[in-house]
Structure 1
Amino acid sequence: MKTLIVCLLLLLPSAGCLFAQSSDFIPGGNVLFEDNFSQDPLGDFPAKWSTSSEGAVVELDGLPGKWLKVSGNVAVNPELKKKLPEDCTIEFDLVVKKESCRAVFGLTTISDVSAGNIYYKKTAVTLQNMTGYPDLVVTKDVQDLSSKSDFSLAGYIDRVLHVSISVNKTRLRVYLDDTKVVDMPKLVLPEYRNNFFIAGGESVPAPPDAIYISNIRIAAGEADARRLLIKQLFEQGSAVTSDISFNPQTNVMTQQSYPVLDTLGKAMQADPSLNIQINGQDQQPAGFVQSTGTTGTTGTTDVSNMATGTAADALVKQKVEQMKSYLVQKFQLNVDRIVTGVSNKIMAKANAMQTGQTGQKLKGFLTQFVKL
C-alpha cells in the first residue's frame, strides 16, 4: 500500500497540467478565418490553406471531425485576405502523438509559406516531447528567447490540446487549454503579423509521425479591453464598460463577465492602495422614471436605504453587489476596499465618450469603476 501511495504522489505533478485553470483569454468577436476541414475530402490538402511541401486531411481514431496532418519539416498557413490586425486572437486544436515531430506555431513576416522559409522569420512557440530538452520554447527568428521547465507535453500525448493565442499590439499571450504559458509584452513587431503558421519541427531525418490540427479560428478584437480598462482607471480615475452582463431570466452574472473582473482583481492584489467604487446603471425602457434619490458629487444615487429607491435601483444594486462578492471571494480582498452604488449618469458619460471615438453607443448593463 505504501508503494502504491508513493507512486501516485510521483504521478501528480505531471498530471497537473491536464486540469483547466482559470483563464483570462477573451476570443475576438469579428471572425476573419475559420476552418474545421468539414468541406475537404479525406486525403486532399485543404482548400483554404497553403503549404511549404505537403499535407492531407485525415481522420483520427477516437476523435471527432477531420484533421490536417502536418509532417516534420512542413509548414502550413491559412490563406488570409490581409495581414493580421494588431489586436486579434488565434485558436486551434492540436493532437500530438508519441512519435510526432515538434509542433511549432506563431506569427511570421511571410504571407505564404510556399514562397519562403518561416524558420528565419518567425515569432513562435515550440512544443516538443524530447528527452533532455524543455517542452516549451519561445523563439524569435532563429534565437531561443525563453523556455518553460514546469510544463510537460507528455500529459497531452494522444489528447486534444486547445491552443489560444492573443495578440495585442506588441504583446503575445499563449494559452494551452486554459493555462497561460507565455506572456511577453514586447515581442510582436508589425511585420510579423503578415500571417499565422503551424509547422512540424525541422529535423533530419523527420520523425515517424506528424502533428494534427483542426477547429482553427482567427478573429479580430477590440483593443485589449482589460489593458484599456485598467489604464483608464489609473490615468482618469474612472472607467466604464458594458462587458459585464447578466442572465436576463435569473439576473446572475454571466461567465463571460469574469475576465474583466479578473483583470481588476489582479490589479487590486498587486496594488493594496487601489480601492474602488462600483456603480451600475441599467438602460431602462422608454417611459421608465428613474428614481432621483439622494445624489452626491459623484452622481451616485444613495441606495443605502432601499425604501427610498425604486425596484429597478434595487436590482442594479444587487448586480453590482455580485461583482463585489466575486472580487472579494476570488482575490481575498478586504470588503472595505470596494463600495457599490447605483448611478443615473453613467450612460450619458459613456455614450458621449463612445460616440466621439467610434460613432457607436454602448448597450446593455453599464458598469463604472471609480478609483477612490
Structure 2
Amino acid sequence: MVKKILYMMLAVQATCLAAHGQGFLKGLGEKASRAGQELIIRKGAKKIENAIDGPVPTKNKSSAGEMREVKLGEEKKVTEITAYSKFDFIPGENTLLFDNFEQDAMGEFPLKWFTNGSGEIVSLEGQQGKWLQINSGSMLSPTLKLPENFTVEFDLFVNLDLKSSAVFPGFHFELFDRGDRAKRLDVYNYTLKNALFFSNSFDRDKVVAALDSRENNNQKLKSDKVFLAGFQSNYRSAVHVALSIQKERLRLWYGQIKVLDLPTAVANPANFNQMLFNGPKTREGYPAFYISNLRIASGSPDMRSKLLDSGRFVTNGIQFDVNSDKIKPASYGLIKEIANAINESPTMKIKIVGHTDNDGNVESNLSLSFKRAESVKRILVDSYNVKEAMLSTDGKGSNEPLSSNATAIGKAENRRVEFIKI
C-alpha cells in the first residue's frame, strides 16, 4: 500500500514538473516574440536619419566566396504594378490636411492632436519618417471642415507577430461631425450624429473588416463582415489605407485590395470634420498599431479637360519615398488615369516637371526633381503604354514653391508633378 502511495506521489510530481516546463517554454516563446517586436521601435533621431537615407544594400556570398551586392527593386516593382493593376483610387486634388509628424518631438504626443489615453512619436526600423504609436485610448486628429467629396489616406504599421500565441488586438478608426478639439472624448456630453465607424479584427489567417454608418443618430447602414484572407502577410509591415467619399458613396482600400464599395453608405449631408483612431493598450515590444502620412484632400482631378483646355495638370497625388524617385504603389491609380487621358490624344506632347520642397540643399533637390519626373515618364511608358515620343521631362527642385515650406501641408503641396501640354 505504501509503495502504491509513493508511486502516485511521484506521478503527480512528474505531471507538475511537465506542466511547469511547458509554461516555462511558452513564456520563453512569448518573450522571444516580444523581443522580435521590440527591434522595430526606435526613439532616437539617428534612426530617422538612417530611414531617410535608405537601408543598407543586401549582400550575399557568390559561388567564389566573395561578397556581392544583390539589387532589389526591379522585380518587386513589376510585381507591385501587376498587383495594383485594378487599383482605382484617385486621391483628392487639393490638400486640406497633411501630417507626417515631422514637426513633433520624439517620445512626445503630437502637438496638434488630442487624446484621452497615451501615444508617442517614434521611428520604426526599416520605415521612413516618424510614426504615432497608439499606446492606449483614442487619438483625435486636428479638426477641419470636409466637403461632400474628399479622400483620406494614411499609412498603418501593423505590429503583429504570427509566432505569438497572444490574442491579437483590433484597430478602429472613425470619421464624424461636430468635432471640437477633444470634445468627442467626453462620452457624457457628446452625442453622435453623423459618423463612420471602421472596425478591424486580426487573426492568424485573416482580417475581418466592417463599417457601421450613422445618420442623425440612427444607423444608416451596417456592412457585412469582409474577410480578408491572406492579409496576415502584411503583419510587421506598413499598409496604405485609402478612403474615397463622393456624397453618399464610400470606397475603402487596404493596399491594393478594395475592401468596401457602398453606393449609399454616408450620411447626407455628413458635415464630417474630425477623425479618431483607436488601438489596444500596449507597451513597447507588445502588439501595437502606428499611423503616419495622414492626408485629407478635396476635389476629383479631371486630367483630360485640364490638359486639353488649360494645357496644364498639377498634382501632389503622385507620391514618392522620402529623398527618392521611387513611386509609391498608392499612386498607381492616379498614374493610370493620367495615362488614359494622354492616350486619348495620341498627337499631344507632354512635358513632365518635378518639384520638391526645400528640405536638403538646392542642388540635390534639383537633381531629385529631375529623377522623379523621369520615374513618372518611365512608368507611363513601360507599364501604361504611353508612347515615349509623346513625353519629355524637366525638374525645378524647390525653386518654384506654391506654398510656404514652413508647414507640413505647405511642403506637401510643393512636392508635386506637373504635366504641361507643349
Any idea what SS the aligned residue of 1:154 has? helix
Q: State whether residues 67 and 213 of structure 1, in contact with CA within 8 Å, keep that contact through their aligned partners in structure 2.
A: yes
Q: State whether residues 206 and 230 of structure 2, in contact with CA within 8 Å, keep that contact through their aligned partners in structure 1.
A: no
Q: State whether residues 53 and 114 of structure 1, in contact with CA within 8 Å, keep that contact through their aligned partners in structure 2.
A: no
Task: Please report the TM-score for the alignment, with normalisation by the length of structure 2.
Answer: 0.47
Counterpart for residue 114 of structure 1: 182
Which residue among 166, 169, 174 is the counterpart of 1:101?
169
Counterpart for residue 89 of structure 2: 25
More moved, 122-131 vs 137-146: 137-146
Counterpart for residue 131 of structure 2: 67
Any idea what SS the aligned residue of 2:337 has? helix
Counterpart for residue 245 of structure 2: 167
1:267-310 residue CA offsets vs partner (Å, 9 max, x unmatched): xxxxxxxxxxx6778599xxxxxxxxxxxxxxxxxxxxxxxxxx
Task: Note the residue ranges of structure 1 that are not aligned, 5 or more in a row.
Answer: 1-15, 227-239, 248-253, 265-277, 285-321, 328-362, 367-372
Q: State whether residues 89 and 218 of structure 1, in contact with CA within 8 Å, keep that contact through their aligned partners in structure 2.
A: yes
Counterpart for residue 291 of structure 2: 213
Q: State whether residues 173 and 180 of structure 1, in contact with CA within 8 Å, keep that contact through their aligned partners in structure 2.
A: yes
Aligned partners of 2:111 and 2:253: how far apart in 1? 28
Which residue among 125, 130, 138 is the counterpart of 2:198?
125
Which residue among 208, 213, 224 is the counterpart of 1:135?
208
CA-atom RMSD in angstroms: 4.4
The Cα of 1:133 is off from its aligned counterpart by 8.2
Rate the CA distance shift 1:167–1:225 in 2: closer, same or farther, 3 A: farther
Q: State whether residues 176 and 272 of structure 2, in contact with CA within 8 Å, keep that contact through their aligned partners in structure 1.
A: yes
Which residue among 181, 197, 201 is the counterpart of 2:276?
197
Q: State whether residues 97 and 296 of structure 2, in contact with CA within 8 Å, keep that contact through their aligned partners in structure 1.
A: yes
Rate the CA distance shift 1:279–1:37 in 2: closer, same or farther, 3 A: closer
Which residue among 214, 232, 247 is the counterpart of 1:154?
232
Aligned partners of 1:257 and 1:155: how far apart in 2? 26
More moved, 112-121 vs 155-164: 112-121
The Cα of 1:18 is off from its aligned counterpart by 12
Aligned partners of 2:81 and 2:120: how far apart in 1? 29
**What is the correspondence of 1:221-300 to structure 2 with a 5 Å cutoff?**
221-222=299-300, 241-242=305-306, 256=334, 258-259=336-337
Counterpart for residue 141 of structure 2: 78
Any idea what SS the aligned residue of 1:63 has? coil
1:101-128 residue CA offsets vs partner (Å, 9 max, x unmatched): 3121231124147212589663132222
Q: Does 1:47 align with 2:111?
A: yes
Q: State whether residues 204 and 232 of structure 2, in contact with CA within 8 Å, keep that contact through their aligned partners in structure 1.
A: no
Any idea what SS the aligned residue of 1:59 has? strand
Rate the CA distance shift 1:63–1:27 in 2: closer, same or farther, 3 A: same
Task: Please report the TM-score for the alignment, with normalisation by the length of structure 1.
Answer: 0.53
Q: State whether residues 136 and 149 of structure 1, in contact with CA within 8 Å, keep that contact through their aligned partners in structure 2.
A: yes
Q: State whether residues 18 and 155 of structure 1, in contact with CA within 8 Å, keep that contact through their aligned partners in structure 2.
A: no
The Cα of 1:179 is off from its aligned counterpart by 2.3
Residue 213 of structure 2 aligns with an amino acid whose one-letter code is: K
Q: State whether residues 71 and 101 of structure 1, in contact with CA within 8 Å, keep that contact through their aligned partners in structure 2.
A: no
Residue 21 of structure 1 aligns with an amino acid whose one-letter code is: Y
Q: State whether residues 76 and 197 of structure 1, in contact with CA within 8 Å, keep that contact through their aligned partners in structure 2.
A: yes
The Cα of 1:32 is off from its aligned counterpart by 1.1
Counterpart for residue 149 of structure 2: 87
Instruction: Indicate the percent of aligned positions where both proteins have the same amino acid.
Output: 28
The Cα of 1:174 is off from its aligned counterpart by 1.0
Aligned partners of 2:111 and 2:346: how far apart in 1? 48
Aligned partners of 1:17 and 1:139: how far apart in 2? 31
Rate the CA distance shift 1:42–1:153 in 2: closer, same or farther, 3 A: same
Aligned partners of 1:280 and 1:186: how far apart in 2? 38
Rate the CA distance shift 1:24–1:101 in 2: closer, same or farther, 3 A: same
Any idea what SS the aligned residue of 1:45 has? coil
The Cα of 1:69 is off from its aligned counterpart by 0.9
Residue 58 of structure 1 aligns with an amino acid whose one-letter code is: V
More moved, 45-54 vs 211-220: 45-54
The Cα of 1:144 is off from its aligned counterpart by 4.3
Aligned partners of 2:240 and 2:80: how far apart in 1? 13
Rate the CA distance shift 1:132–1:158 in 2: closer, same or farther, 3 A: closer
Residue 114 of structure 1 aligns with an amino acid whose one-letter code is: A
Aligned partners of 1:18 and 1:77: how far apart in 2? 34
The Cα of 1:68 is off from its aligned counterpart by 0.3
Q: State whether residues 195 and 272 of structure 2, in contact with CA within 8 Å, keep that contact through their aligned partners in structure 1.
A: no
Rate the CA distance shift 1:21–1:192 in 2: closer, same or farther, 3 A: same
Counterpart for residue 8 of structure 2: none
| Number of residue pairs aligned between Structure 1 and Structure 2 | 241
Aligned partners of 1:159 and 1:137: how far apart in 2? 22
